[in-house]
A and B are shown apart, each in its own frame.
Chain A
Amino acid sequence: MTNAIQRKQHLVAYGFILPFFAVFATMFIAPLAYSGYLSFFAHKLVGGVKFVAFGNYVRAFQDPAFLFGLGRTALILLVQVPIMLGLALFFALALDSGRARGSKAVRLLIFLPFAVPGVVAVLMWGYIYGQDFGLTGQITRALGLPPTDFLSDQLILFSIMNIVTWAFVGYNMIILYAALKSIPSELHEAAEIDGASQWRLAWSVKIPMIWPAIFLTIIFSVIGSFQIFNEPKLLVEIAPTAITQGFTPNFYAFNVAFVNQDINYAAAIAFLLGFVIMIVSYVVQLSMHKREVQS
């Protein structure tokens, strides 16, 4: 009897997940498998297609363009992500403390950039960065500073980091803020009565309590950093020499596939990129888990 019910429930459950996994299999697994298949071949303009086993992967590890792109992503992970999440956490805590006036408006305004499509954000910042006639140009001139070319080889990475930070601080702040709001108020009221300062309260009560949310924002930022594409794709028009083909790994995969017409190598790069993301996410998860256990 129970077995029959159980079996029926299994069938029902499969019925529920079937539509998702049907689409998942065709739109996700199949392309992925196809991509994997393609990555074992090489295509040459003269000579055509031939099987090369792991040749494309070996090539990627010796390809300076791909490695520099990964390096830039690492720099973004180490510089931009901490700044962005630090700001998001600071704003979330400040809003949660209820000590700033107009905090509801502040929250909305900081979140607003998330509603701006990435393409529009990049176009807009592209204009703003103009060193002679853009907003930054106007401001540096008004302040009597030398004109700064935010689109030069040296600064372009930081200009891109700025765009990403601008767009995503609010999003991360909302995740953290919502998590903070879910902390039972009795907990920090008690701490406040004990005379703990806001800083201390944040550090030893609130942050540990919202650790899972912080973890989520870190993982999302890691994945997001590896996927940066819009910024180089659109800025390359106005900064053609500063943005190289391999500026970010994702942009490189696009260029290899659609500019260099080397679909096979692009598939290998895309695959490697997925692996790198999984490894980095896994490392982050492990270290977070350790931290969680400690605290």
Chain B
Amino acid sequence: MRHIISILIENEAGALSRVAGLFSARGYNIESLAVAPTEDPSLSRMTLVTSGTDEIIEQITKQLHKLIDVVRLMDMTEGPHIEREMMLIKVRAQGENRNELKRVSDIFRGRIIDVTDQTYTIEMTGAGEKLDAFVQALEPGLIIEVVRSGVSGIGRGDRSLKL
């Protein structure tokens, strides 16, 4: 099963490599990983998407906890949460495709943020599935470039990951 694990980690050089190294050393999957400092500059927040059986996820969270730099973590998928990912996608927008692409982008609530006579660059946020669906809705030949931020997650309501 797919899990989103959020981690508060000391914002120190090498912290990211400890997490990445743990996953490669123990053979765990990482589907995506997003990292940035929080409002407290001494802390970074990582959102990590992984998958595995319940036993493997239990081991992953325990092993992450064991890293000295990890301050706190939460498996978002264990409770109500919001998941978002941002995508920038550059598409070939010429002739009749130009209007069609605008329409599809609108349906998915994308925003066209850069326009040339040859291309559109669309910005879109949503859960990973929605972004997948948008990419699939496009003719593959039209896609020039896809950039995805990786998933970020936050607990709903009172559920939060903080010190």
Answer whether A and B are interacting partners.
no
